[in-house]
């Protein structure tokens, strides 16, 4: 039997913590948490070659109001959808639904479609569309190594080595080893200074506006640093009763007692630190925690790799952010650099596996590059806001300029982990219509999980395998699903959002039943 641990989370996707479970005799739960359902844990994308289906060519004018269909077949389908959404175990929950036929833009079904809802991780659909439209699918993030002094002929650098990030979501040990190889080819043999992880490219907060404090210790709540590495997370295991981490960056304390009637293991990372405490009884653990100060983490990895390759470092590791002043790259020498995968590939992984960190880094990149084109209504905020808030303004402006949403909505992060986001199902539906007839439709479509085959839908909707491609969303008391469904009659853009969901079973099963109805099955 698998142990039940405090590190176990209840996400349908990485957008959130349905809850962190603390269980004693399978009965004691933190208020607001739902019962843990292993079937709802997100699984990594598999069968990534499964394409789902192509979207039809369409020219729907979003500037015009969407008209509700009076077709008898559509009315019958909508009646069945309403019946399904009403037959739940949590009648006090609130449902928002929109179904749009891509053949002509008619609203096949709407249920509180213009009401504002917390969207959870389907927020990433908006982030995807805006970034693909503004940055382009070929956009790449650059990470560099700088020095303010020259490397001498003897290989010495009389100063600091600066690892400078520009928001790359997929920087890892592999790219850092590449940087070290480039430095060796430049003749570097000794750093007579510190290795500095510089995240000053972004201003503002690394954590999303409206995130809950108990999310940020887990992998799905990792802070968005301009210098992020290895998804800003570490894996915690147990060896001989003692906690163990893959790297020495965290300070581990605590131990596990022998198994009693049930395995129950707790994991706690103190806020603002890398101190991790493990307690309880059991013998196995596999938890992923977010690291504090990712830029320092990246600098540590670079220093370790330098020394492994015979490059001595006299100093230690430090980090620097925008509060210390942005690095003036024009006054420093770029000694090495690497580029990320293309944005289309980044978004593919972001949506397939619902990676919050990727969405937050994309949001800040939008703010860094286009924030001046989306000024804040409050002049004071315009002066004070960071790239996170600027990115939200860029998204809001894009939604308005493309006739997707009016002024009645709220955007506070890029991933959907924030509870301050308020979006209507119709807005999500319009984003899907826009994406279906855009120049980036291929990259957008391919990024969506495929029913019964890939990403967060791999284990869902298996009865209509391949006929639904959609993004999942789930945080405490919220479930959502949005994407495309294909039937013999039409291909539909749809969004289903459930708020105030308190039932133990969750609304995912009912949502899937509605999505399956759209396929005609």
Please check the confidence at residue 99 and state whether its pLDDT lies above 50.
yes
Find out whether 147 and 159 touch, Cβ atoms under 8 Å: yes
> pLDDT at position 36, please?
29
Count the Cβ atoms, other than its own, within 10 Å of residue 257: 12
What pLDDT is attached to residue 34?
30
Q: Are 109 and 84 in contact (CB under 8 A)?
A: no
- Average pLDDT, whole number, for the chain? 90
Q: Is the pLDDT of residue 72 over 70?
A: yes
Across the range 420-434, mean pLDDT stands at 98
* 3-state SS assignment for residue 96: strand
Mean pLDDT within 250-266: 90
Residue 480: pLDDT above 60?
yes
What does each C-alpha distance from 126 to 41, 121, 359, 431 come to in angstroms?
24, 10, 10, 7
Question: Tell me, what's the pLDDT at 37?
Answer: 31
Percent of the chain with pLDDT over 90: 81
pTM comes to 0.91
Residue range 185-195: mean pLDDT, rounded? 97
- Report the range of poorest mean pLDDT among 57-66, 155-164, 258-267, 363-372: 258-267
Position 266 pLDDT exceeds 60: yes
In degrees, rounded to 5, the angle at the alpha carbon of residue 170 between the alpha carbons of residues 441 and 193 is 150
Check whether 48 has a pLDDT greater than 70.
no
pLDDT for the residue 407 = 79
Closest to 225 in 3D by CA, of 234, 213, 233, 215: 233
Contact present, 97 and 495 (Cβ < 8 Å): yes
pLDDT at 5 over 60: no
CA distance 418 to 146: 35
User: Which tokens is 423 given?
Assistant: 């979006």
What is residue 147's predicted lDDT score, i.e. its pLDDT? Answer: 97
**Cα–Cα distance, 362 to 194 (Å, whole number):** 29
Read off the pLDDT band of 18 (50, 70, 90): very low
Cα-based torsion angle of the residue sequence 461, 465, 468, 473 in order, rounded to the nearest 10 degrees: 40
Mapped onto helix, strand or coil, the DSSP state of residue 329 is helix
pLDDT one-digit tens code per residue, 195-212? 999 999 999 999 999 999
CB 232 within 8 Å of CB 220: no
> Cβ neighbours of residue 379 under 8 Å, at least 6 residues apart?
none
Backbone angles phi, psi at 505, to 5 degrees: -75, -20
Q: Residue 229: pLDDT above 70?
A: yes
When pLDDT is cut at 50, 70 and 90, the band that residue 416 belongs to is very high
Q: What is the pLDDT of residue 44?
A: 41
Q: Name the band, by pLDDT with cuts 50, 70 and 90, for residue 248.
A: confident
Under the banding of pLDDT at 50, 70 and 90, the label for residue 404 is very high
- Residue range 111-144, pLDDT digits in tens: 999 999 999 999 999 999 999 999 999 999 999 9
- The band of 49, judged by pLDDT with boundaries at 50, 70 and 90, is low
pLDDT digits (tens, 9 = 90+) for 292-311: 999 999 999 999 999 999 99
Report helix, strand and coil shares of the chain as percent, to nearest 5: 30, 20, 45
Question: Which phi and psi angles does 61 have, rounded to 5°?
Answer: -85, 105
Residue 43 has pLDDT above 70, yes or no: no
Compare 9 and 299 and report the one with higher pLDDT.
Answer: 299
Q: Is the predicted pLDDT of residue 386 greater than 50, yes or no? A: yes
* Whether pLDDT at 264 is above 70: yes
Whole-angstrom Cα distance, residue 127 to residue 471?
12
Q: Is the pLDDT of residue 38 over 70?
A: no
Decide if pLDDT at 19 tops 70: no
Higher-pLDDT residue of 357 and 9 is: 357
**Within a 10 A sphere around the Cβ of 209, how many other Cβ atoms?**
17
182 sits in which H/E element: helix 173-185
Write the CB contacts of 193 (distance below 8 Å, at least 6 apart in sequence).
157, 158, 159, 160, 161, 314, 315
321 pLDDT more than 80: yes
Positive or negative: CA dihedral 114, 118, 119, 123? positive
Please give the Cα distance from 190 to 297 (Å, whole number): 21
Residues 6+ apart with CB under 8 A from 439: none
- Cα(6)–Cα(135) distance, rounded to whole angstroms? 40
């Amino acid at each position: 039997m698998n142990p039940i641990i405090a590190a176990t989370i209840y996400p349908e996707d990485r957008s959130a913590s349905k809850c962190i479970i603390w269980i004693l005799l399978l009965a004691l739960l933190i208020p607001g948490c739902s019962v843990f359902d292993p079937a709802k844990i997100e699984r990594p994308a598999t069968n990534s070659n499964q394409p789902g289906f192509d979207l039809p060519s369409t020219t729907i004018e979003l500037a015009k109001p969407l008209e509700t269909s009076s077709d008898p077949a559509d009315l019958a389908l909508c009646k069945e959808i309403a019946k399904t959404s009403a037959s739940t175990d949590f009648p006090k929950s609130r449902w928002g639904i929109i179904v749009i036929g891509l053949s002509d833009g008619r609203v096949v079904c709407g249920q509180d479609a213009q009401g504002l809802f917390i969207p959870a991780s389907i927020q990433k659909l908006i982030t995807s569309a805006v970034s693909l439209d503004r940055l382009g699918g070929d956009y790449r993030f650059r990470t560099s190594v700088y020095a303010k002094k020259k490397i001498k002929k003897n290989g010495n650098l009389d100063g600091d080595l600066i690892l400078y990030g520009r928001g790359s979501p997929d920087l890892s040990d592999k790219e850092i080893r590449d940087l070290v190889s480039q430095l060796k080819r430049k003749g570097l043999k000794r750093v007579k200074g510190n290795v500095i992880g510089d995240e000053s490219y972004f201003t503002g907060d690394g954590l999303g506006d409206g995130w809950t404090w108990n999310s940020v210790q887990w992998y799905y709540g990792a802070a968005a640093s301009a210098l992020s590495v290895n998804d800003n997370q570490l894996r915690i295991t147990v060896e001989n009763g003692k906690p163990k981490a893959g790297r020495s960056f965290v300070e581990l304390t605590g131990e596990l007692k022998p198994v009693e009637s049930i395995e129950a293991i707790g994991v706690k990372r103190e806020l603002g630190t890398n101190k991790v405490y493990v307690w309880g009884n059991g013998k196995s653990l596999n938890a992923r925690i977010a690291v504090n100060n990712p830029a320092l983490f990246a600098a540590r990895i670079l220093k370790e790799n330098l020394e492994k390759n015979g490059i001595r470092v006299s100093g230690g590791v430090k980090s620097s952010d925008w509060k210390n002043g942005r690095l003036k790259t024009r006054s420093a020498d770029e000694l090495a650099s690497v580029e990320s995968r293309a944005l289309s590939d980044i978004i593919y992984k972001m949506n397939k596996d619902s990676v919050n960190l990727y969405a937050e880094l994309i949001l800040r990149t939008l703010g860094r590059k286009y924030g001046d084109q989306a000024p804040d209504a409050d002049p004071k905020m315009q002066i004070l806001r960071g790239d996170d808030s600027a990115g939200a303004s860029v998204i809001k402006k894009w939604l308005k300029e493309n006739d997707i949403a009016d002024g009645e909505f709220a955007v506070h992060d890029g991933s959907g982990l924030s509870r301050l986001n308020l979006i209507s199902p119709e807005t999500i539906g319009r984003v899907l219509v826009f994406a279906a007839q855009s120049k980036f439709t291929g990259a957008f479509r391919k990024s969506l999980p495929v029913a019964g085959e890939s990403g967060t839908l791999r284990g869902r909707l298996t009865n209509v395998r391949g006929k639904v491609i959609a993004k999942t969303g789930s945080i405490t008391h919220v479930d959502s699903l949005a994407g495309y469904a294909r039937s013999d009659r039409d291909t539909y853009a749809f969004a289903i959002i459930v708020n105030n969901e308190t039932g133990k079973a969750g609304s995912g099963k009912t949502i899937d039943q509605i999505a399956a109805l759209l396929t005609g099955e």
